[in-house]
Structure 1
Amino acid sequence: MDLEEFAALLTPEGLRLLDALPPVESAADVTRAVSRLRAAGHPPALVSAVVGQARLRVRARVKFGEFAERMLFTRAGLEQATRLSVAARHAARFRDAGITTVADLGCGIGGDALGFAGLGLRVEAVDADEVTAAIAAYNLAPFGDAVTVKQGRAEEAEATASAASRGIWLDPARRTAGHSETTRLRAEDYTPSLEWAFALAARVPTGIKLGPGFDRGAIPDGVEAQWVSADGSTIELVLWSGALARPGVGRAALVTRGDRSWELTSAADALDEPVRALGAFVHEPDGAVIRARLIGDVARALGAGMLAPGIAYLTGDEALTSPFVSSFRVREVLPADTKALGATLRERGIGILEIKKRGVDIDPAALRKTLKLRGDASATLLLTRVGGTRTAILADRIAA
C-alpha cells in the first residue's frame, strides 16, 4: 500500500466501504469485489485499498482473532507482526517487572503495542516508515492518550523518550523496506544495528525480538534468550535484559498452543542424553526446544535417549509424552529403498501418510508421489539416519 492508497482508505467513504465489504477469502472473492466496487463508480486507488485490506483482514485472523476486523495492515506488516496472544505474554513480562511505560521502537503495524496497551501499560511507539506508523496509530487509536505513535528512527526516539520509558521493546528491521514484497537482511544490515541494540539492552531493561534462527554465537552475555513457538511453528527469539531477564535463566523454550502455554528454562544449554537403540516410542522435540538446546532436559523427563548423534529425535520405551514433543508409537522399521518402501506401504493399505524427516536429504512431497500410496489406513513415516544408515520408521502419532 502506498501513501495515495492509504489516504484514500482513511476517509469516511473508504472506511465505510471496507466495513461493509463481506470477507474476501479467495482470489474469486477479490475479482467479484473489485468488479462490484468499480461498477459502482469508486476510484481505482480506493477500490485497490479497500479490497486489499479486506483480504488482509481475513489473513490476520490467525494472529489477531476478532480484533482483525477493525484493524488496518500492510502485507509485509502483517507477515512480520507478533500474534496477539504472544504479544500479551511480552506485555506481562514488562508489567511483572514493575515497568509501566514501554518505548516500542520499530512498532510496525502495532501488534506488540496492542499487547502492551491491553495490559494497561503506557506505550510510546515509533516506526521509520510513514505509512506503517500511520497504520499503527489507527490500530492503537482505541487506547487514546495511553498510546502515542510517531514516525522516526529508533535511535532518535530512544534518546528523547520520557524518563518513565525505561522499558524498551525493540524489533529491528530484518527485511528490506516495503509494504509487500520484501527480502531478508543479513544480521549486520539490521536497522537499528545490533551493536546499537545490544548496547541499549546493557543500559535499559529491554526485549529484542529476532528471528528464531538467529546465530546463537552472536547472543550477548548476560541476557535471557527465549525461543517461542506457536501452534507448532517456531516464530521468534526474544533477548531479555535487565529487570526483564529472570534470575538464573539463560535459555528458555516457550511452547504455546492457542491460549495454553508451557515453558522449559535452564541456566545454559542442556547436555544431550546418550544415543540408544530404537525403542517403542520416538519423540520429536518442539522447534523452540531444539533452538534453545534443551533437548537433553526433555529426554531425561521422558526417560528417553538420542536416536542418533546430532539428530533431534528421541527414543525410549516409556509410554510418556509432554507438550515439548510430538510423540509416535513405533510399529516397525521398513526398507529405506523407495521402491521397496512403497510396495510395503501399499501392502499394508496405507494411503494416508504423514512424512517427517531429520538428517536425510529427501523431499517429502516428491517421495509421496514416488510411493504411489493406496488404501484407507493412516500412519506416520519417520525418515532419519541411525548409525550412518538411512532408516524408515513406520509409526502412529500419539495425541498430545
Structure 2
Amino acid sequence: MITVDDVAFLRSRHGLKALENASALALTSDSLIADVADLRRRYGDRASALAEVVRSRRRAVGRLREPERWLLTDLSLQQATTAVVAAHRAAEIARRFGGAVVHDVTCSVGAELVELADTGGIGAVIGSDLDPVRLAMAAHNVTGVTLLRADALTPTSTADVLIADPARRSSGGSRTFRPDDFSPPLLDVLTTYAGRPIVVKSAPGLDYQTLRARFGFDGQVQLTSLDGGVREACLWTELDDGVSQRATVLRVVDGRLRVEEVTDLESDDVPVGPAGQWIIDPDGAIVRAGLVRHWAARHGLWQLDPKIAYLTGGTVPPGERGFAVLAQLPLKEKVLRRELAARDCGSLEILVRGVDVDPDQLRKRLRLKGSAPFALVLTRIGARGVAFLCEPGWRRPA
C-alpha cells in the first residue's frame, strides 16, 4: 500500500528519476516478481510504490490526459472519470454556472479537478478528500486548485457548485450497484448538500425512477456514453431549462469529439410500423435515459414495437451504426440455419432485445460453415419473436 511518505518520495527529484527508470521495465504479470526485486535492490522499500504507479500509468493511457505524469494507484484509476467525460462536464458547469467556485468533495487523485482547472469560465476550484495519500497525489497531479482534507459529508466550503463521486467499488475492486453501499451513500450526499447546487456521479445502472418516486429527487438525470459504452448517470440537483432527463452521447471521431444530446423536452411522437431499409440500435445512454422515442422523432425513425428500443427507417443518422435489412424471418432455428447456409454465412453478429436468446450459444447451434459475413437482429413484435437478417453493421460518417 502506498503511503504519504511514498508520495513525498515520488514527487522528489530522486523519485521522479526512479519513476523514469521503473518505466523502462516490462512490469508485466510474467516479469513482475523479477522487476520488483530489481527495483527493491535499487530503491529499497519504495519498489512496490514505483511499480504500482508505473503500471497504473500504463492502464491510464486513453483515459487520462498525459498519464505518464500522474501519480495514481490501480484503485484510484478505476474510480477516476475518463478525461473526455470530465472535460465535457466541466464545460457544462461553466455554461450553467459561469464564474462559479466549484468544490469536488471526493476529489481523489484529481481526475475531475484537472479538467475543471483547465476550463475557462470557472471562477476557482477546490478539492477535498479524506484519504491523505490521494490528496498528496492530487497535489502533484493538479495545479492552481485549493486542496483540503475533509469528509465528503462534512461541508467545508461555501462554493457555488459541488461535485461528488461516491466510490462504487470495494477495497478489493469489485463493483457495487446499491446506492446505500456507495461510499459515501448517495442519499447521504444529497441530504448533506440539500438546497445547494450539486452534481453527483453515479453508476449507469442507477434506478433513477425509484430515486424520484421514493426519495423525491426532482433534479436532472443525465446518462453519458463514450464511444458506445455507457459511462455514468449524473444527477444535477439544478434543472437546466426544465430538462429532467438527458442523454449525452460522446464519440471521438478522427481525433475530434462529436457530441449529441437528447432531452425529454423534445417530441416523442413516433409511429410503430414494419421494418424499413435499416434497423438502428440506439446508443445505450439514450436507451437508459428513456429517450428512445425522442431520438427517433429527431431523426425521422419509427419503432418496430412500442416496448422495444430497436428503431427502423430509411436512413441511418449521422455517426450511427445501422443494419441494412435483407429479410424478415420467424425466430426458429431451423429456418435461420437453412437461410444462413443458403447465403454461405461464415460469420454472424447477433443483436438481441426483448427475447431470451444467448447469442453465443445460438451461433454455435447454427453451425456456420460459409465465408460471407451477416448480422442477425433478434427481437419481439407484440408477442411474436422475429429475426431480421441484415448486412454487416455499417456506420454512417458523422
TM-score range, shorter chain: 0.7 to 0.9
Q: What CA distance in whole angstroms lies between the structure 2 residues aligned with 1:326 and 1:14?
A: 48
Determine the structure 2 residue equivalent to 1:228: 224
Which residue pairs with 1:174 in the alignment? 168
**Cα distance change of structure 1 residues 24 and 95 upon mapping to structure 2, 3 Å threshold:** farther
Contact residue 208 and residue 221 of structure 2 kept, 8 A: no
* Contact kept in structure 1, 2:36 and 2:51, CA below 8 Å: no
Is it true that 1:16 corresponds to 2:13 in the alignment?
no
SS at match of 2:61: helix
Structure 1 residues 356 and 14: CA distance shift in structure 2, 3 A: farther
Amino acid in the other structure paired with 2:350: I
CA distance in 1, matches of 2:364, 2:6: 45
Measured in 2, the distance between the counterparts of 1:211 and 1:23 equals: 36
CA contact (8 A) 2:223 2:246 kept: yes
Map of 1:26-175 to 2, 5 A cutoff? Answer: 29-32=28-31, 34-36=33-35, 38-39=37-38, 41-42=41-42, 45-65=45-65, 67-96=66-95, 97-119=97-119, 121=122, 122-140=124-142, 143=143, 146-156=144-154, 158=155, 160-161=156-157, 163=158, 165-175=159-169
Tell me, yes or no, if the aligned pair for 1:5 and 1:48 is still in contact at 8 Å. no
Structure 1 residues 52, 205: closer, same or farther in 2, change over 3 A?
Answer: same
| CA distance in structure 2 between the partners assigned to 1:239 and 1:91 by the alignment | 14
TM-fit CA distance, 1:37 = 5.1
Q: How many pairs were matched up?
A: 382
The CA distance in 1 between the partners of 2:36 and 2:365, in whole Å, is 47
Structure-2 change in CA distance of 1:261 and 1:271 (3 Å): closer
**Two-structure CA RMSD over aligned residues (Å):** 2.8
Query: Contact between 1:211 and 1:237, CA under 8 Å: does it hold in 2?
Result: yes
CA contact (8 A) 1:76 1:182 kept: no
In structure 2, how many angstroms separate the alpha carbons of the residues matched to 1:310 and 1:331? 23
Q: Which amino acid aligns with 1:131?
A: V
Distance 1:326 1:200, change over 3 A: farther
- 175 and 185 in structure 1: CA distance in 2 versus 1, 3 angstrom threshold: farther
Q: How far apart, CA to CA, are the structure 1 residues paired with 2:361 and 2:10?
A: 44
Structure 2: segments with no counterpart, 5+ residues = none
Choose which of 199, 205, 230 in structure 2 pairs with 1:213. Answer: 205
Deviation per residue, 1:283-303 (Å, 9 max, x gap): 111111112211112222333
The structure-2 alpha-carbon separation of the partners of 1:155 and 1:309, relative to structure 1 and needing over 3 Å to count, comes to same
- Aligned residue number for residue 394 of structure 1: 389
**Residue segments in structure 1 that go unaligned for 5+ positions in a row:** none
Q: Structure 2: how far apart are the matches of 1:134 and 1:365?
A: 47
Shift of 1:131: 2.7
Counterpart CA distance in 2 for 1:223 and 1:349 is 53
Q: 1:214 to 1:39 in 2, by over 3 A?
A: closer
CA shift, 1:221, in A, is 4.6
- C-alpha distance 374-239 of structure 1, shift in aligned 2 (>3 A): same
In structure 2, the CA distance between the partners of 1:23 and 1:279, relative to structure 1 (3 Å rule), is farther
Identity across matched positions, percent: 33
1:289 to 2:283 alignment: no
Question: What is the deviation of 1:168?
Answer: 0.7
How far 1:14 sits from its partner (Å)? 4.2
User: Are 2:177 and 2:203, in contact at CA under 8 Å, matched by a contact in 1?
Assistant: no
* Counterpart-to-counterpart distance in 2, 1:108 and 1:320: 41
Counterpart secondary structure, 1:247: coil
- Cα distance between partner residues in 2 of 1:367 and 1:23: 46
Q: Structure 2 vs 1, CA of residues 349 and 45 (structure 1 numbering), >3 Å: closer, same or farther?
A: farther
Q: Secondary structure at the match of 2:49?
A: helix
Q: Deviations over 1:325-348 (max 9, x none)?
A: 532211112453335434432432
| TM-score, structure 1 as length reference | 0.85
Kindly tell me: are residues 302 and 171 of structure 1, through their superposed partners in 2, closer, same or farther at Cα, counting changes over 3 Å?
same
Following the alignment from structure 1 to structure 2, what is the Cα–Cα distance between the partners of residues 44 and 172?
35
Deviations 1:59-91 (A, max 9, x none): 2112114x1111122222212211111111211
Q: Deviations over 1:322-381 (max 9, x none)?
A: 45x532211112453335434432432222322211112222233333333333322221
Instruction: Provide the C-alpha distance between the structure 2 equivalents of 1:203 and 1:99, rounded to a whole number of angstroms.
Output: 20
| CA distance, structure 1, for counterparts of residue 329 and residue 44 of structure 2 | 59
Are 1:17 and 1:50, in contact at CA under 8 Å, matched by a contact in 2? Answer: yes
Structure 2 Cα separation of the partners of residues 204 and 4 of structure 1: 33
Contact 1:23/1:54 (CA < 8 Å) preserved in 2? no
User: Which stretch of the first structure deviates more once superposed, 188-197 or 381-390?
Assistant: 188-197
Whether contact under 8 Å (1:99, 1:167) holds in the other structure is no
CA distance in 2, matches of 1:147, 1:62: 24
TM-fit CA distance, 1:115 = 0.8
Whether the 8 Å contact between 2:164 and 2:200 is mirrored in structure 1 is: yes
Q: Distance in 2 between matches of 1:87 and 1:356?
A: 31
* Richer in helix (by share): 1
Equivalent pair of 1:23/1:58 in contact (CA under 8 Å): no
2:352 aligned partner: 357
* TM-score normalised by structure 2 residue count: 0.85
Equivalent residue number for residue 275 of structure 1: 272
In structure 2, C-alpha distance between the alignment counterparts of 1:372 and 1:58, rounded to whole Å: 40
Give the CA deviation at 1:5.
Answer: 9.2
